[in-house]
Amino acid sequence: MSHIFAQPYDYELPPQPTLALIVIDMQRDFMEAGGFGDILGNDVDRLRAIVPTLQRLLEGCRDLKIPIFHTVEGHQPDLSDCPQSKLKRGKGPVTIGDESSMGRILILGEPGNSIIPELAPLPGEILISKPGKGAFYKTNLEPQLKARNITHLLITGVTTEVCVQSTMREANDRGYECLLVEDATESYFPEFKQSTLEMVRAQGGIIGWTAPTEAVLQGLKQWQQSQDS
Ligand code: TIU
């Protein structure tokens, strides 16, 4: 049995390819100057720092034909899928649906809602649009995973304590074995990222595992070799 060296203990890889990579919300709204995150006063360069690492992980997973799911957080143009609570919360200078230099904020199909070009999905990879923070809420992610017999998830993306953590908790409750890739996720708040890593793996892995990209790629290489032999 192959494994990834992880915390709080090794993450056993399943004998059959039932593992998927999930990349959460690497969209321009959160990642680029002029986007929602930036307008709200956050330092988007903190998030941009993980892009090369995520590219490396994507490349490794693509080489191994691991299914890849990308998500974006976004709403219908008429905001019919956006609760008033979400629309009004924050009391920032702008809100969802307002105009920005990249089109309407967090609206599906607008330029700002697309995944940054460096991490654009390739043909055959699955794009999930989600109205909530978690990727399971009001999406077809679960049927898509079930159709592929996926039981194990590598989870990455932004931001660690918001959409990434929500998704990992939703996945854990549905029985998925989740590993959060430590250096392929980031937050506008370093202390929130650190706390999230610690809380998901606390109490014997209450929500799942964490490991750095290098350990994930090493484990996957060993896994491939064991499948080939
Ligand atoms: N994708 C995601 O995390 N959505 C957010 O709104 N994150 C914040 O940190 N604001």
Ligand 1 atom nearest to 24, measured from its CA? 1
Closest listed residue to residue 61, CA positions, set 182, 208, 217: 217
Question: Which pLDDT belongs to residue 92?
Answer: 85
For residue 135, list its beta bridge partners.
Answer: none
* Per-residue model confidence (pLDDT) at position 104: 98
Task: Examine the residue annotation and report whether 82 is marked as an active-site residue of this protein.
Answer: no
Distance from residue 11's CA to the centre of ligand 1 (Å): 27
- Specify the pLDDT at position 227: 80
Q: How confident is the model at residue 91 (pLDDT cuts 50, 70, 90)?
A: confident
Strands 126-130 vs 103-104: parallel, antiparallel or unpaired: unpaired
Confirm whether 178 is a catalytic residue.
no
CB 155 within 8 A of CB 186: no
Note if the pTM is more than 0.85. Answer: yes
Amino acid 174: pLDDT: 98
C-alpha separations of 146 from 54, 89, 140 in Å: 25, 34, 10
Q: What is the pLDDT of residue 177?
A: 98
Condensed to tens digits (0 to 9), the pLDDT of residues 97-135 reads 999 999 999 999 999 999 999 999 999 999 999 999 999
Report CA(14)–ligand 1 centroid distance (Å).
31
Looking at 61, 130, 133, 178, which residue is catalytic? 130
What per-residue confidence (pLDDT) applies to 90?
Answer: 81
pLDDT value at residue 17: 75
Closest atom of ligand 1 to CA, residue 37: 10
Dihedral angle over CA of 163, 164, 167, 169, nearest 10: -120
165-173 and 190-205 are packed helices; what angle lies between their axes, rounded to 10 degrees? 20
Concerning whether 25 is annotated as a catalytic residue, the answer is: yes
Cβ burial 103-120 (10 Å sphere, 16+ → b, else e): bbbbbbebebbbbbeebe
CA 159 / ligand 1 centre spacing (Å): 5
Determine which one of 61, 82, 133, 163 is catalytic.
163
Report the share of the chain in percent with pLDDT over 90: 93
Average pLDDT, the chain: 96
Nearest to 4 by CA among 175, 139, 207, 181: 181
Residue 39 has pLDDT above 90, yes or no: yes
Question: Residues near ligand 1 with C-beta < 6 Å?
Answer: 25, 30, 73, 158-159, 162-163, 188
Kindly give the number of the ligand 1 atom that is closest to the alpha carbon of 73. Answer: 1
Q: How far is the CA of 104 from the centre of ligand 1 (A)?
A: 16
Average pLDDT over residues 58-75: 97
pLDDT band, very low/low/confident/very high, at 2 (cuts 50, 70, 90): very high
